[in-house]
Structure 1
Amino acid sequence: MSGADWLLIGSDPRVALAAELLKKEGGTVVVHAADKWDSKTGELVQNCRPHRLVLPMRPLAGVPGPDVFKSVGEVFAGLLDDDWETTLDRAEKRPHRYLTEERFVWENAGLTAEGFLASWYAAGRGTMRGREFWIAGYGRVGKTLARLLRPAGATVTVMARSPASLAEAVQEGFGFCPLPQTGAAVRPPVLVNTIPSRWLDPEGQVKPELILDLASLPGCLAPGCRHEYYELLPALPGKWFPHDAARLLAEALCRIDGERKGRNDA
């Protein structure tokens, strides 16, 4: 199949920057800055006949018919909704999930944690030293953030459901609080959420003074709940470090593609 080596779709600035880095690897790279799939997008895909189609981190609005993928080689994808999952399945395309590539996830977590610090300072909230932060979730972002906050002089308490996560937090020297919280209510001065679910009812046992949410939409507040001092802080790597974030994306795409080639050649 002749055609472009890479076709990247998405309006996120990281996409265009990643495309520039991919061009340095050689070959033809095309960028389509769009957040929805329409007839123009479909025509571009069919004309480019890309060896590798890169879908954006969040699902595109609208989906094509499965026949459009007859002109596509490999598909690389971020998050996919049910419609996109069904479309790719019907087209017999098994997407390569770059958002779950382990090295990318950890490196992106580092940028997210640093982006949190940048957002804190930019908002004029003062120094980290002497502050008390409660971090909900002890995955990659939660761990990386906790490890950045402590050297800055902050006190960190980890909130998690998993006994293993709580044990790890204790081993690292952080405070801990099991979820769901039972007994007396706790009142975190600053709650930083990294759990990608709507788990928090501010009228329940966890009553934060300030909530800074690093999870994706719709955030951590339970349906119907509100909080006067709640901020959603999505996509921090792209906001604060677009060139670094683009480099991580381009490198992840190249690694995944190289591993794919290695499996096919084996």
Structure 2
Amino acid sequence: MTRPDWLIIGSDARFSKAADHLRKKGYTVLHDARDRWDNKTDALMLNEKPVRVVLPIHPPEGSPAIGVLDKTDRLFAGKLDEAWEKASELAGRAPRLYLQEERFIWQNASLTAEGFLATFYRSGGGTVAGRQWIVAGYGRVGKTTARLLRAMGADVTVLARSPSQTAEALTEGFGILDIEGTGSGENGRILVNTIPSQWLDPSGPFNPSRIYDLASVPGCLKPGAAHEYYRLLPALPGRLFPDEAARVLSEALCRMDS
């Protein structure tokens, strides 16, 4: 029996389309459009023995039975939790993390920033130019979003967690804040969060007029906190630009496979 070249797992629209992109390159590809790993997935692995397995950006719910991951040669993932790290270690399959592939990170950041703007306009938020914005976090998504907003005429301040991020934002000409220093003087601005932690309590001195959260679930609000206009917007590339996001993902997988 010929082994399929790829098994791609995940319900995000970019994964099904990434499978199509890989098929066009001549690969045989299976796609399991679920975000969990269970007995059905174990059976698929044991029967098909795919050469490569691609996991969703976030680890799927559940984990493989002992001996199942041994059936694949290569494992690709966005990020792994403790259970999946243990499973891959037991199988002797060092995961190749596409969220650490530099070109993919920047291309995905660009799609995320554009996706945020599309969502902002659709939400009735108004125009970007001339308004005051705070971008929290100055990683790839934060940098790309801040630069895009400024290019459109926005007044952008960066709220950074580390001295190096603060220095870089300052060097690029952005106003700067730090998490501990935010206060009522920043109220009324629009906040775009890219920090993947629950750091914000809007009932405190810092209460933005709107919060658009581009981080992963559970978002930036502290447990129990609420805001009258808070929108959590994870996985924007796959939701808004599935074709382009799929091309970016499939190309990253091929680069990492070489």
Normalised by the length of structure 1, the TM-score is: 0.92
RMSD of the alignment, in Å? 1.6
Q: What's 2:256 paired with?
A: 256
Which deviations, in whole Å up to 9, do the C-alpha atoms of 1:123-171 show, x marking residues without a partner? 1211111111100111111110111111211110000122221222122
**Per-residue deviation, 1:2:** 4.8
**Per-residue deviation, 1:180:** 1.7
Which deviations, in whole Å up to 9, do the C-alpha atoms of 1:56-84 show, x marking residues without a partner? 11211111212112211101111222211
Q: What's 1:262 paired with?
A: none
Q: What's 1:124 paired with?
A: 124
Contact 2:12 2:239 in 1 (8 A): no
Q: What's 1:263 paired with?
A: none
Given residue 4 of structure 1, which amino acid in structure 2 is its aligned partner? P
Given residue 166 of structure 2, which amino acid in structure 1 is its aligned partner? L
TM superposition outliers: structure 1 runs of 4+ over 6 Å? none
**Per-residue deviation, 1:188:** 4.5
Given residue 206 of structure 1, which amino acid in structure 2 is its aligned partner? F
Given residue 82 of structure 2, which amino acid in structure 1 is its aligned partner? D
Cα distance between partner residues in 2 of 1:112 and 1:80 = 21
Q: What's 1:77 paired with?
A: 77
Given residue 66 of structure 2, which amino acid in structure 1 is its aligned partner? P
Q: What's 1:171 paired with?
A: 171
Contact 2:134 2:190 in 1 (8 A): yes
Give 5+ residue unaligned stretches, structure 2: none
Q: What's 1:242 paired with?
A: 242
Contact 1:137 1:158 in 2 (8 A): yes
Contact 2:42 2:65 in 1 (8 A): no
**Per-residue deviation, 1:184:** 6.2
- Identify the range of structure 1 (29-38 vs 240-249) with the bigger mean alpha-carbon deviation: 29-38
Instruction: Describe the shift of the 1:211–1:184 C-alpha distance in structure 2 as closer, same or farther (beyond 3 A).
Output: closer
Give 5+ residue unaligned stretches, structure 1: 259-266
Cα distance between partner residues in 2 of 1:184 and 1:132 = 14
Normalised by the length of structure 2, the TM-score is: 0.95
Given residue 171 of structure 2, which amino acid in structure 1 is its aligned partner? Q
